[in-house]
Amino acid sequence: MEVPQFGNRFFTEKLNDRANQLLPEAVKALNEIKEQVCVGCEWTGWYDYPQRKGFELVKSIKEFKENLDVFYDLIVVVGIGGSYLGTRAVADALTHEHAGALGKTMIVYAGHHVSETGMVEIMDLLAEKQPIINVISKSGTTTEPSVAFRVIRQYMEKRFGKKEATKRIIATTDEEKGALKQLSDEMGYKTFVVPSDIGGRYSVLTPVGLLPLALLDVDIAELMNGADDVFKTLQNCNEDHPVLRYAASRNAAFEADKRVEILSFAEPKLRHLVEWWKQLFGESEGKQHKGLLPSSLAFTTDLHSLGQYVQDGCRNLIETFLMFEDATSVGDRNVERRLRIPVTGDNSDELQYLEGRFIDEINQAAMLGSEVAHFDGGVPCMEIKMKKLNERSIGQLFAFFETACGISGAILGVNPYDQPGVEAYKKNLFALLNKPGFESLGEELKKRL
């Protein structure tokens, strides 16, 4: 079974020594997750989820999709943070970037910001398509998706009538509470449940991610198989497990005053997988003035912007390379499509030395070359290595990073499952918009602004 591999050949001897010393703590943290005795253990429902509930869920979602009696060519996911990033991570990685222009089913996102223009443009698209809407909010009360959904719901009812609109709207939310649950019950929307023991950023393999991805014809069983591969290897693992080594190594780096972890990737389609990773680690570990700030480098684009800083700026960085042996041809799955540098017999562009070689060879060389250069410039580098980019390997990465994050947060001494810091901005937002109940904070803020 192929699971993500971990490499530390460019992580410095000192950091590797310290990481090895931290491995017993990592093992202890893993066992505490398994035994559900860790800090925040009421939120560890994601661990071993495929075996406990995931495969069953895959079946019921597939059944739902087969019985759906509406035609759609546009899926709109309304949600923010953990309620949309996992879906986008998979959809971007595995589907054609220009699906819409090529006449294929498209997936777009709303409610992950409050840009008025963004919303206007989504409405323009809705008008041209046959949309199906999946509104996703665990709490059911988050401002951004609630606003977007109100706009979209009104449009859907006007265009399709209430009965047809109800068929075209699916809600994913808490089993009992929240405004979205109440509204869905009133309107008769089909609802899927966000499990109460799984927080937003750990929820991609629940209906939160699986439903919209199934609507997009992603092989959700393979995603689940991938996660299961990793959880199986964790059952009776020793200290050498890649998940433990990654979690221990990031903590060794934090102790050595490193403050930023860059996740570098060479395939642009991985951008939202990396955004998902940023949310997972940032929201889980950024507490009590601790934690590595998750950042990213998209190769080779960012080598021409941030590359200078990574090579030569403040030395408080570590870099993790997310490497795929083969990340090509994912836009049209099951169809192998490769592109070579044309052979022209002319060297006026000075590219004759590349003739006949796959374009991806340049990408791979840029990544390896940068790793050595950044290490030589004083940035300790780790590697997470995968074979092929597909549903299975992405499922593996979800389980790999979720487990590493739970362990890493425990070693760091924070609760990796709550997000108390997010509340501060929400209170100020409500106060500035005169939400009832926030009047005195509103007065205070207006004096300061």
List the catalytic residues: 283, 304, 426
Rounded Cα distance between 99 and 269, Å, is 13
Applying CB under 6 A, among 200, 212, 242, 406 the residue interacting with ligand PA5 is 200
80 in contact with ligand PA5 (CB under 6 A): yes
- In whole angstroms, the minimum distance from the beta carbon of 180 to ligand PA5 comes to 8
Q: Under DSSP, is residue 227 helix (H, G, I), strand (E, B) or coil?
A: helix
Is the Cβ of residue 203 or residue 396 nearer to ligand PA5 in the bound state? Answer: 203
Q: Which parts of 266-285 interact with ligand PA5 (CB under 6 A)?
A: 283
- In whole angstroms, the minimum distance from the beta carbon of 353 to ligand PA5 comes to 47
Is the Cβ of residue 148 or residue 220 nearer to ligand PA5 in the bound state? Answer: 148
Q: Which parts of 135-174 interact with ligand PA5 (CB under 6 A)?
A: 137-139, 142, 145
Label residue 124 exposed, middle or buried (CB < 10 Å: 0-12, 13-18, 19+).
Answer: exposed
Is the Cβ of residue 174 or residue 228 nearer to ligand PA5 in the bound state? Answer: 174
Is the Cβ of residue 199 or residue 291 nearer to ligand PA5 in the bound state? Answer: 199
Rounded Cα distance between 327 and 390, Å, is 8
- Residue pair 210/58 in contact (Cβ under 8 Å)? The answer is yes
Tokens of 141: 């009360």
> Which of 199-207, 265-273, 376-384, 396-404 is the region at the interface with ligand PA5 (rule: CB under 6 A)?
199-207
Please count the other Cβ atoms lying within 10 Å of the Cβ belonging to residue 397: 25
Is the Cβ of residue 23 or residue 76 nearer to ligand PA5 in the bound state? Answer: 76
419 in contact with ligand PA5 (CB under 6 A): yes
Element (H, E) at 172: strand 169-173
- CA dist list (Å): 399 to 63, 230, 395: 25, 6, 7
- In whole angstroms, the minimum distance from the beta carbon of 137 to ligand PA5 comes to 3
- Residue pair 361/371 in contact (Cβ under 8 Å)? The answer is no
199 in contact with ligand PA5 (CB under 6 A): yes
363 in contact with ligand PA5 (CB under 6 A): no
* Strand spans (E) along 269-343: 293-298, 317-326
- Residue pair 152/183 in contact (Cβ under 8 Å)? The answer is no
Q: Which residues of this protein are in contact with ligand PA5, per CB under 6 A?
A: 80-83, 137-139, 142, 145, 199-201, 283, 419
